Amino acid sequence: MAKPIHVLNRRKVLVWGGMVGALLLSGGTLVRWLYKIDALPDLEHIHEPLLEQSFENFSAYEATVLHEVAGLIIPADQHPGAKEALVVVEFDQMAKNNERFKVLCQQGVRWLDEIANDLFQVKSFLQLDCSAQTKILLKADVPLKTVWEKISDKIQYGETHLGYTFFQSLKQQTFAVFYAHPMGWMTVGYHGPPQWSGHLDYHICV
């Protein structure tokens, strides 16, 4: 009697499982190497020139991308926004003592460029207009749902939820920095820290 042929046996499952696992673990590094994502993208046709301030913890390119994103998070209207308040300078200071924040910002900038390339076939987030940039941030604002999305994110960027984590963190810090700045206070009609002036008009409603 002929021996039955098993398409899958225990050994094959173990071997293939191991290979998939190894790919998942090394995927981020591999793809980073393949993509050479540390390289600066082509900066022709960017909408704004790079910031000229000297940054200690970010390159001028990274700082400019962060600056743009902050400006989309809190745009200027009749009052200044996060760009006018130069919140990116504070991000640079924060990065000095917070390695995790620094790395997240740097990875986030690369993620934005990747998505810009995927969706709009440009090499830099900075080459997009405001509406296209907003589309990318909207994508970043939604947590990944399916397991496949998460695995794919891990393989492609070395971290699950990179775009989401980066954007949530930057949003939170943009709010915190902007509303600790006189330009942020002006936006909502706040007059500054509680002391030493206090609010002696607290009982007046007009």
Partner 1 sequence: MAYSLSQAGFSVVVLEAGPRFDPTQYPLNQADWERLPKTFSASRDAQRDHYTSGPKEPLNPQYRHLQSWTEGEKVSVNKTHRAPPKVYRVKGVGGCTLHYQGEAHRFSPHAFKSRSLFGYGEDWPIQYEDLEPYYDKMEKLLGVAGDPNNPFKAPRGPFPNPPHRLSCASQRFKQGFDELGLQLHQNSVAILSRPYDGRVPCNYCNGCSQGCMMGSKSSMDVSLLPKAEATGNTRILANATAAQIQIDGEEKAKGVMFFDEKKQENFVHAKVVVLSASAMESPRLLLNSESKAFPDGLANRSGGVGLYFMETMFHDLTALFDEPIHSHKGLQIDARCWNYNFPNPSQSFQAGVVFGVSPLGLIGPGAYSKYLVHGWGKSHKDQMREYFGRTLHLFAIGEQHPHPNNQVKLDPTERDGFGLPVSQLATQLHANELEMLNFMAIRGKAISNAARVKRVLGEASAYDLSGITHMGGTCRMGSDPQRSVVNQFCQSHDVPNLFVVDASCFVTQGGGDSPSLTIQALALRAGEYLAKEARKGNI
Residues near partner 1 (CB under 8 A): 72-75, 77, 79, 81, 134, 137, 141, 171-172, 175-177, 179-182, 184-185, 187-190, 192-205
Q: Which amino acid is at 165?
A: T
**What six digits make up the tokens of 96?**
């000095």
Of 35 and 101, the one with the shorter C-beta distance to partner 1 is 101
* Least distance (Å) between residue 173 CB and partner 1: 9
Place of tokens 């071997």: 15
Asked if 85 and 147 touch (Cβ cutoff 8 Å), the reply is no
* Least distance (Å) between residue 148 CB and partner 1: 23
* Least distance (Å) between residue 73 CB and partner 1: 5
Q: Which amino acid is at 4?
A: P
* Least distance (Å) between residue 94 CB and partner 1: 10
Q: Is the peptide bond before 196 cis (omega within 30 degrees of 0)?
A: yes
Of 52 and 201, the one with the shorter C-beta distance to partner 1 is 201
Of 4 and 189, the one with the shorter C-beta distance to partner 1 is 189
Of 32 and 181, the one with the shorter C-beta distance to partner 1 is 181
* Least distance (Å) between residue 203 CB and partner 1: 4
Distance CA 35, CA 22 (A): 19
**What six digits make up the tokens of 135?**
């589309």
The sign one gets for the Cα dihedral 119, 124, 128, 133 is: positive
**What six digits make up the tokens of 8?**
């899958």
Distance CA 77, CA 87 (A): 17
* Least distance (Å) between residue 4 CB and partner 1: 45
Distance CA 131, CA 109 (A): 18
**What six digits make up the tokens of 74?**
């809190």
Of 27 and 92, the one with the shorter C-beta distance to partner 1 is 92
Of 161 and 181, the one with the shorter C-beta distance to partner 1 is 181
